[in-house]
Amino acid sequence: MNLEALVASGEQLNQALGREWYLTGAGLKADPAFTEIYDRHAVLQEADAFACATASGIAALREWIVDLRVGRRVAPFEERQLEWEQRASLSVLGREIPYLRAGIDLQNSPDRAFRIALDRERGAVGAAALNGLRRDRLAAEREVVSALAGDAEFVRAVARLSGMDLDTLAGQAAALLEDTADLYADALGRLTRRRVGVPAGELVRADSAWAFRADGHDAAFPPDRMLDTAVHQMRDMGLDALAGGRITVDADERPGKQPRAFCIPVRVPFEVYLVLRPSGGHGDYRTFWHELGHAMHFAAVDPTRPFHERWLGDNSVTEGFAMLWDHLTLDAGWLGRYTQMRQERQGGIADLRFELAVSELHMLRRYAAKLAYEMSLHRSDYGPAMADEYAERLSAATGFRYAGEDYLRDVDPGFYAARYLRAWQLEAALASGLVERFDEDWYRNPRAGAFVHALMEPGQASPADTVARQVGRPGLSFTTAVARLTPLLA
Ligand SMILES: [Zn+2]
């Protein structure tokens, strides 16, 4: 097999997979056919394809072929999980709730007894149906990756293939947990006393989404203004939020739709979908700006760039651009200019920003703990003994008591948690670089728009640490992100 044939076949496969993810994730198609799609491109699963990618010297191509092998191997598990999730429902205090709606209801229910019952049912029913499947899925991934990387130690194999320095990142994440422990405990206590009404020691995971729901400000974030607001703000930067029609937004309510918003490219840069399921308030705006960041990044890629730069590479980069946009929704000036927050009473923006900052540090700490846990999980046999470590680490980091049951479902395959953590670091680098060059209100400056567009055009040709250096930062760290949050939590 030559490189040209490999890439041609690969692009067709990525397009077909993208379309299938879009249709099934959006609830437009109930019978996922990932296995069938992989099998139409079975040639990419052969040793010859891996040898060709390796010989090309392009690390992203080699990593991608490994991902395809993993993807094909785990497709039957993913399909069974998707099918089950779309059908499953929960019985909670006399109500029937679709499994995929549980997260939305947890976020929107002020009734604590209901939340706790719902979360317990979600955890128990999900664990009974899916934990066996997830265990087999994770074990299959580890087997494929270790074999192809020629390293039985999975964590090291992933680090070698992806070029991510997982040990250094884990060290930074551990330091983050330690350095922000008091700051977080104090701020979380102040927020939850008010919103949840129980002492900090009694908080459980069922409280977390509600604690950060910030529903007191919903009126300032009407769902029907979201898209227009984004179009307006991007236009101020000289950017087109829908990239001349390359980006399609799907925000309709539909029964089989995944609760988690996603962006999926089908043809890069020409056909990109942004799917979300609005559930109310600031969170919708933040999610929308995040997914829009992905969509604009894919749609901005120079179409003459090679396949591996348009489609592949370090996903910390696309996540970093997604976070660059979603973090605007935490910015005081942006909130005052682009949302109805300007009409709120004095101090409204400061109140909201406090809640969002606690939520932000919660997420950062949750992912820091997830990375440590997942590194440990992948060195285990994925057995139930890991449930305790999961509950312990996540409870300690977040301040909400976790049950162990989610120990296999709350895992991002392929160490995606590491990509998110690196993206947080990249976002802080990008934002501070933009402020330095174009001032605090760079988000309405056409010169900043041109600068960001130029950064997005290469796609993921360079890894996140190189992109950080392109905006004049020495590399990736949590220092800037934490320094920005600290005054908001005081
Ligand atoms: Zn993302």
Query: pLDDT tens digit string along 281-313?
Result: 999 999 999 999 999 999 999 999 999 999 999
CA dist., res. 374 & res. 414, Å (int): 10
Give the rounded distance of the alpha carbon of 446 from its chain centre.
Answer: 28
Distance 305 CA to ligand 1 centre (A): 22
Distance 123 CA to ligand 1 centre (A): 24
| Range of lowest pLDDT (73-82, 122-131, 254-263, 436-445) | 254-263
Given a cut of 90, whether residue 67 has pLDDT beyond it is yes
262-267: strand order across its sheet: 247-250, 271-275, 262-267
CA dist., res. 453 & res. 217, Å (int): 32
- Model confidence at 1, in pLDDT bands (50, 70, 90)? confident
Distance 416 CA to ligand 1 centre (A): 10
Distance 318 CA to ligand 1 centre (A): 7
Decide: residue 266, CB within 10 A, 0-12 exposed, 13-18 middle, 19+ buried. Answer: buried
CA dist., res. 31 & res. 36, Å (int): 11
Given a cut of 90, whether residue 428 has pLDDT beyond it is yes
Write phi, then psi, for 250 (nearest 5 degrees): -120, 100
List pLDDT tens digits, range 118-162. Answer: 999 999 999 999 999 999 999 999 999 999 999 999 999 999 999
Decide: residue 392, CB within 10 A, 0-12 exposed, 13-18 middle, 19+ buried. Answer: middle
CA distances to 243, 245, 274, 446 from 240, rounded to whole Å, are 5, 9, 15, 11
List pLDDT tens digits, range 313-368. Answer: 999 999 999 999 999 999 999 999 999 888 776 689 999 999 999 999 999 999 99
Distance 257 CA to ligand 1 centre (A): 17
The model's pTM: 0.95
Write phi, then psi, for 92 (nearest 5 degrees): -130, 115
Beta-carbon neighbours within 5 Å of ion ligand 1: 319, 322
Distance 322 CA to ligand 1 centre (A): 6
Distance 291 CA to ligand 1 centre (A): 6
Distance 414 CA to ligand 1 centre (A): 15
Segment 200-211 mean pLDDT: 95
Q: What is the mean pLDDT of the chain?
A: 94
Distance 38 CA to ligand 1 centre (A): 24
Distance 65 CA to ligand 1 centre (A): 22
Distance 319 CA to ligand 1 centre (A): 5
Given a cut of 90, whether residue 277 has pLDDT beyond it is no
User: Are the C-beta atoms of 217 and 282 separated by less than 8 Å?
Assistant: yes
DSSP code at position 403? P
Express as a percent the part of the chain with pLDDT over 70: 100
- Residue that the structure tokens 């060290």 belong to: 171
